Amino acid sequence: MTHTKHSKLTRPSLGRFGRNEWAFVGTGCGNIQRLARQLIAALSDRYQCAYLDADHTPGAGLPEALAAGATAEYTDAIHSRRLQVNASWGTHQFRRIFNETDLIFVNGNHHEAAAQVVIIDPAKKDSLHRRLAQLTNVRLILLADDETQVFDFVENILPEANKIPRLRLDDQAGILRFFEMDMLKKMPLVNGLVLAGGHSVRMGRDKGAMTWHGKPQREYLADVLKNLCEEVFISCRPGQEVGTTYPTLPDTFAELGPFGALLSAFREAPDRAWLVVACDLPLLDHDTLDFLLKNRQQRRTATAFESPFDQMPEPLITLWEPKSYAILLSFLAQGYSCPRKVLLHSDTLVLKAPDPAALTNVNTPEEAKGIRLEKDMEHK
């Protein structure tokens, strides 16, 4: 047998700093800073944006605490928070810091990024020539001043250069439109996950196998999700027989309940958002879940319903964005395995359900009897 040193894991699509990072290359820092500010101002209502640059101001010394030997200094200012560190950051540290950021703009004069915008500026032609090795994934070309042609040395290294969009540097509307369309194309697809791995101790029987709509509840909910999601899985315990035509997703984070099921789903597909529903929701329907999806905000960690019973976010009828994977893992590392706690302490959009009764969960035979009586009365 071939020896495998490490477990095979599906890695999320990340650049050096995070998802959707862009380096602006080929012009002066002032132009790059202005362009980044314009884009951030226009996009920050829909996406969490970040900007990376460098400061080479002569004579700028270390803050006093760092000069004394501290590795970090945090300042809670009136309008912002500032963290300064006296340590070198690598890819893993950057990704942790920018995990919740949707769109990262980078001054390419100081940092490289996974995708590049090349600016054809005659004043910085020599500088651009020295940076050709950085041009690994050019997606947009901007023409500064009166330039009408791309420099030959740039054309020669770009495969299918004629297919790369070209705009003028002062075309703010066109540049904004380019990034808006790119972000729409990159919106994470949504997978559905039916949580059916519980022990159903209070019910005394498998809640996922209970029949409310002429079929096992886990199958019914999977059918509902099928019309809303890219792929649908049924979460279960390892070795659990669920008897379903849908693919199952056994927990790979053992004995953590729904928290482990959610982590197992992200381990399977870390670039997908996951619409999670518990199997003990007999009144949950297509319209309720469709409302959740239509009101989704990609800039948030998750989109959840407010529970009509305690006014808290309902974690088991929630759309979890890909950025929540690292957040869930960080909570686990701190000794927490409660998905509701993650929602309460993250940037969560909480919605009121159009029909609060649809969020009713059933955990005991008495509650199940009450729901059946209500449904019987509806049909009379």
Residue 347 has pLDDT above 90, yes or no: yes
* Residue 362 reports pLDDT greater than 80: no
pLDDT at position 373 over 50: no
Question: What is the model's pLDDT at position 376?
Answer: 46
Domains of the chain with CATH codes: 21-55+64-185 (3.40.50.300), 190-379 (3.90.550.10)
- The model's confidence at residue 201, banded by pLDDT at 50, 70 and 90, is very low
Q: How far apart are CA 314 and CA 280, in angstroms?
A: 13
pLDDT value of position 75: 93
Tokens of 240: 């659990």
Taking only the tens place, the pLDDT of each residue in 39-96 is: 999 999 999 999 999 987 776 678 889 999 999 999 998 899 999 999 889 999 999 9
pLDDT digits (tens, 9 = 90+) for 221-234: 999 999 999 999 99
Q: Check residue 325 and give its pLDDT.
A: 98
Q: How far apart are CA 330 and CA 23, in angstroms?
A: 29
Look at residue 97 in the predicted model and tell me its pLDDT. Answer: 95
Amino acid identity, position 331 = F
Give tens-digit pLDDT for 303-341: 999 999 899 999 999 999 999 999 999 999 999 999 999
Average pLDDT of the chain to the nearest whole number:
90
Measured N-to-C along each axis, helices 257-268 and 324-333 cross at an angle, to the nearest 10 degrees, of: 130
C-beta atoms surrounding 39 within 10 Å: 22
Partners of 348 in the β-ladder? 302
Minimum mean pLDDT among 3-7, 37-41, 89-93, 344-348: which range? 3-7
Query: Is residue 364 scored above 70 in pLDDT?
Result: no
Nearest to 117 by CA among 93, 103, 94, 136: 136
pLDDT confidence band for 38 (50 / 70 / 90): very high
- Is residue 351 within 8 A of residue 306, CB to CB? The reply is yes
Q: Is 339 exposed, middle or buried (0-12, 13-18, 19+ CB in 10 A)?
A: buried
Task: Give the sign of the dihedral formed by CA 202, CA 277, CA 191, CA 49.
Answer: negative
